[in-house]
């Protein structure tokens, strides 16, 4: 049975982190289709609902709390994209560098492809996935990520460079596979 949401802890941390969560939600939605049906507030709310379903939420660490909510926002957008992709099978995966993906709106196929790539990378390097989620989806700076992961900013940059390269290669491979079908 899922553990209930600790409303006491949430009431303390939520007003502190809500502006950051909205900023992250806006950044995530900025890369989505223009006609996306979710708004930043709804995305934050959906993520909190998802998060409250399965485990205790560490409300004593605001940065960790933000990271967990951002991860759930990514999952919500991925699920939303899967539902949209089911309706429209004609989209093709584009092969783009991660920084290009960050600057453009993403169609549902690309969102699902990124999620699949991150699931694959999770098996190889969970820290890289956490870093990508915090930077790419959450908009955290290198210094903020270093604080959350308790590592040096230089290590964050090294992991980010390797993760970007891996993600680019994985997306390119998925594009080749998608184009051959």
Length of the chain: 181
What pLDDT is recorded for position 157? 92
What pLDDT is recorded for position 95? 41
Its sign, for the CA torsion 53, 19, 61, 149, is positive
Answer yes or no: is 143 within a domain: yes
What pLDDT is recorded for position 28? 82
How many structural domains comprise the chain?
1
Local mean pLDDT, 10-residue blocks, the chain (181 residues): 54 84 85 70 84 73 86 85 57 44 61 84 90 83 89 92 84 64 52
Answer yes or no: is 2 within a domain: no
- Provide the domain limits for residue 109: 7-180
Please state, in angstroms and rounded to a whole number, the distance separating the CA atoms of residues 156 and 147.
10
Contact 60, 9 (CB under 8 A): yes
> Which three-class secondary structure state does DSSP give residue 34?
coil
Q: What is the dihedral of CA 67, 29, 112, 117, to 10 degrees?
A: -40
Neighbouring residues of 3: CB distance < 8 A, sequence distance ≥ 6: 54, 55, 56
Answer yes or no: is 46 within a domain: yes
What pLDDT is recorded for position 90? 36
Answer yes or no: is 1 within a domain: no
Q: If you ran DSSP here, which 8-state letter would residue 32 be given?
A: B
What pLDDT is recorded for position 52? 76
Answer yes or no: is 17 within a domain: yes
What pLDDT is recorded for position 115? 84
What pLDDT is recorded for position 35? 58
Contact 131, 156 (CB under 8 A): yes
């Amino acid at each position: 049975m899922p553990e209930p949401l600790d409303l006491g802890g949430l009431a303390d941390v939520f007003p502190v982190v809500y502006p950051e969560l909205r900023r992250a939600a806006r950044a995530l939605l900025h890369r989505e289709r223009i006609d996306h049906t979710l708004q930043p507030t709804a995305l934050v709310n959906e993520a909190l609902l998802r998060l409250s379903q399965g485990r205790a939420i560490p409300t004593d660490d605001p940065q960790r709390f933000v990271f967990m909510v951002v991860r759930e926002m990514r999952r919500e957008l991925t699920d939303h994209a899967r539902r949209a992709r089911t309706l429209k099978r004609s989209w093709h995966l584009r092969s783009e560098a991660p920084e290009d993906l960050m600057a453009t709106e993403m169609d549902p196929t690309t969102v699902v492809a990124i999620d699949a790539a991150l699931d694959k990378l999770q098996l190889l390097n969970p820290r890289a996935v956490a870093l990508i989620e915090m930077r790419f989806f959450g908009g955290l700076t290198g210094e903020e990520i270093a604080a959350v992961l308790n590592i040096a900013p230089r290590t964050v940059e090294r992991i980010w460079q390797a993760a970007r390269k891996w993600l680019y290669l994985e997306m390119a491979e998925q594009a080749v596979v998608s184009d051959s079908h």
